[in-house]
Amino acid sequence: MALSLGYVFRETRGNLRWNVTLFAATIVAVWVSLTLFGSSLLIREGVEQATGRWRGGIEFIVFMNADATEAQHAAIRGALDENPEIGGYDFVDQQGAYNEFITEFADRPELIENVTPEILPPSYRVKPTVDDADVIEALAAQFDTRPGVRQVTLPVEVIRTLQQNSQKVSVFVLIIAIVVLLAALMLIANTIRTAIFARRQDIEVMKLVGASNWYVRLPFMVEGTIQGVIGGALAIPMLFLMNNLMAGFVQDDYLELLRSLVVDSAVVWNTSLLVTGIGAAVGVVGSLFAVGRFLDV
């Protein structure tokens, strides 16, 4: 017998009607697992993006108050110039901080609308001449209590803590995602098995009239693939929602390190395409297992 799209469509639709509850449960399992998997990827990307901004010689940043006086700025510059363990520094005024903010969030105009240069703190990007973490921490501590200083950010420890915590969260989420994904794969196989059992008499008749193995198997495989693709597609809006929630959480925070955890929309789209592809692959694998295990043709 020759395969046709019409036959595959009719048989797949018939199989789905037999298993509406299992079909829905499988989609939910794939959806949850792929949302968790995609989230772990976005966490890794956000941390990589955040820590990557500190590579290139900047060891700590002295954030000034937005209303710091010129005398307070002069005192900070003098202390930086006189310290032999400081090789140099770059001053980023409020307009410069605003330009960085615009560049970083070019794809999120709603955030840019609520920020003006006047509310962003100017800062000194300090480059020590030493590599010892303890010495750098001691240098940073000298500026923490000076008048006009809002905060001194020492990324040596911040990045270390951020990487360690994010790695633990990412691995934990990934493990849960894999467990749920395995459950989804078994659900897909069980759904296909139920469809095979429900249509066993039709399958016997098709075999008697000369239907090939692929003629019988293909609709069931398409059914499993559809479940995986739908579950992956449903994960896409969840990934965008979580990224937007992160953006809303840090939009009032002046720490660039936290704001950098919000990834670009293009990254979310790429991750979404990946999880959808994984969903399709899970559907194919689950259906192949079912037709090979339970369909004796």
**Residue 237, token pair as written in the block:** 């809006």
Residues found in the chain: 297
Residues 6+ apart with CB under 8 A from 180: 29, 32, 33, 36
Q: Between the CA atoms of 51, 52, 55 and 56, what dihedral angle is there, to the nearest 10 degrees?
A: -150
Class of domain 60-153 as given by CATH: alpha beta
Give me the pLDDT at residue 208, please. 66
Residues 6+ apart with CB under 8 A from 40: 170, 171, 173, 174, 177
Beta strand segments in 73-202, E: 86-92, 123-128, 149-153
Please report, to the nearest 10 degrees, the dihedral formed by the alpha carbons of residues 109, 115, 116, 121 taken in order. Answer: -130
Per DSSP, the three-state class of 151 is strand
Token code pair at residue 56: 């290139």
pLDDT score at 1 = 47
Query: Where in the chain are the domains?
Result: 5-53+159-294, 60-153
Can you tell me the distance from the alpha carbon of 153 to that of 151, in angstroms, rounded to the nearest whole number? 6
Q: Which residue in 170, 282, 192 sits closest to 231, CA to CA?
A: 282
Distance CA 41, CA 271 (A): 7
Q: Could you list the pLDDT tens digit for every one of the 297 residues in the chain?
A: 445 555 555 656 655 566 677 777 778 888 888 888 888 888 777 777 666 555 555 578 899 998 889 999 999 999 999 988 888 888 989 898 888 888 877 777 777 777 788 888 899 988 888 766 677 788 888 888 899 999 888 766 666 666 676 677 777 777 887 887 787 778 777 777 776 776 666 666 666 666 666 666 777 777 778 888 888 889 899 988 888 877 766 555 444 555 556 777 888 888 889 888 888 888 888 777 777 665 554
Q: Which residues contact 184 (CB under 8 A, 6 or more apart)?
A: 26, 29, 30, 33, 231, 282, 286
Q: How far is it, in rounded angstroms, from Cα 286 to Cα 164?
A: 35
Distance between start and end Cα atoms, the chain = 15
Q: What is the pLDDT of residue 258?
A: 57
pLDDT at 253: 46
- How would DSSP label each residue in 121-150? PPEEEEEES---HHHHHHHHHHHHTSTTEE
Phi/psi region, residue 56 (left: phi>0; alpha: psi -120 to 50; beta: rest), is left
**Contact 86/135 with Cβ under 8 angstroms?**
no
- Residue from 222, 223, 214, 192 nearest 3 by CA: 214
Residue 226 backbone zone (phi > 0: left; psi -120 to 50: alpha; other: beta)? alpha
CA distance linking residue 146 with residue 157, whole number of Å: 21
Task: Kindly report the backbone phi and psi dihedral angles of residue 247, in degrees, each rounded to the nearest multiple of 5, phi listed first.
Answer: -60, -40
